[in-house]
Amino acid sequence: MVTLQLQGVGAHYGSRTVLANVNTPVFHAGQVVAVIGPNAAGKSTLFKRVAGMLKGPGQIVLQGSRKGLEGICYMPQDISATARLTVVESILLAAKQQHQGWAVSDAELAQVDAITVSLGIADLAFRNLGELSGGQRQLVSIAQTLARDPEILLMDEPTSALDLHRQIQVLDFMRSLAQERGLIVFIALHDINQALRYCDHALVIANGQAQHSGPCEQVITAAMLRDVYRIRARIESCSAGTRHVIVDGVA
């Protein structure tokens, strides 16, 4: 069973340190971790550092992995697509990054089919990337990331371009994927209610540091929202018993 822990992780762009000394508990297969925090806090930078795209101090301790660092897959926030490929070609290309050679097996085609069906984009399979809407491109970007057979998924605001139905569909899907396939899923989110609803653990990044880390219900508090986001808010249970953030205004 895969586990991941960050120990004193930092990152810099040139001489500018953007992230320093991020420590986390050991995360286990099946867990979904919300990475939350204000704009420019360092969430994407943390993902890039964990994915090996940036250098910096500290250790990314991965244990019980079949694939090693190759199993850490990052879905970027930027979903612009310039390649002249169809949707299915672009997903196959992502899958092929993990394997030698370009021959496509029936099993790989079936895997791509299954991913597009799960994300509700099977009807887009032969459309060119350049002619998709923003939300459709985001769903294809998620499909490309899943095709890489991840053990650790780093999803950078994966629902930012999606309508409400698709947001719920994708987050439900990520949750069941984590549990059924034993993935550890990190999701950078700005919607704190989605973090409360879909994630087990919250890691709050602010000013390039991990300010809080723990179970969502312990970390997402009125005090944290005031200190980190500078808003006045209450956390209340709705009639269905689910906890929600109600925002009263800026602090």
Ligand X SMILES: Nc1ncnc2c1ncn2[C@@H]1O[C@H](COP(=O)(O)OP(=O)(O)OP(=O)(O)O)[C@@H](O)[C@H]1O
Q: Minimum CB separation from ligand X for residue 43, in Å?
A: 4
Cβ(112)–Cβ(88) below 8 Å: yes
Sign of the C-alpha dihedral computed for residues 235, 242, 219 and 138 taken in this order: negative
Binding of residue 13 to ligand X (CB under 6 A): yes
Residues forming a β-bridge with 22: 9
Binding of residue 44 to ligand X (CB under 6 A): yes
Binding of residue 18 to ligand X (CB under 6 A): yes
Residues forming a β-bridge with 205: 210
Which of 91, 205 has the CB closer to ligand X? 205
Binding of residue 80 to ligand X (CB under 6 A): no
Which of 49, 175 has the CB closer to ligand X? 49
CA distance 199 to 211: 18
Q: Of 45, 90, 136, 145, which one interacts with ligand X (CB under 6 A)?
A: 45
Binding mask 151-190 for ligand X (x = CB under 6 A): ----------------------------------------
Q: Minimum CB separation from ligand X for residue 183, in Å?
A: 21
Which residues contact residue 233 at a Cβ distance below 8 angstroms, ignoring those fewer than 6 apart? 222, 225, 226, 245, 246, 247, 248
Pinpoint the alpha helices (H) of 119-163: 134-146
Contact segment (CB under 6 A) with ligand X among 36-44, 120-128, 175-183, 241-249 equals 36-44
Which of 78, 180 has the CB closer to ligand X? 78
The H-or-E segment that residue 167 falls in is helix 164-181
Q: Which residue is listed with tokens 């993990």?
A: 98
Which of 20, 129 has the CB closer to ligand X? 20
CA distance 203 to 85: 36
Which of 48, 166 has the CB closer to ligand X? 48
Binding of residue 138 to ligand X (CB under 6 A): no
Distance of CA 26 to the CA centre of its chain: 17
Binding of residue 41 to ligand X (CB under 6 A): yes
CA distance 170 to 209: 28
Calculate the dihedral angle through the C-alpha atoms of 171, 177, 178, 180, rounding to the nearest 10 degrees: 140
Binding of residue 40 to ligand X (CB under 6 A): yes
Q: How many residues bind ligand X (CB under 6 A)?
A: 11
CA distance 173 to 193: 17
* Cβ count near 100 (within 10 Å): 6
Contact segment (CB under 6 A) with ligand X among 26-34, 35-43, 127-135, 221-229 equals 35-43
Q: Minimum CB separation from ligand X for residue 160, in Å?
A: 9
Binding of residue 49 to ligand X (CB under 6 A): no
What are the residues binding ligand X (CB under 6 A)?
13, 18, 37, 39-45, 77
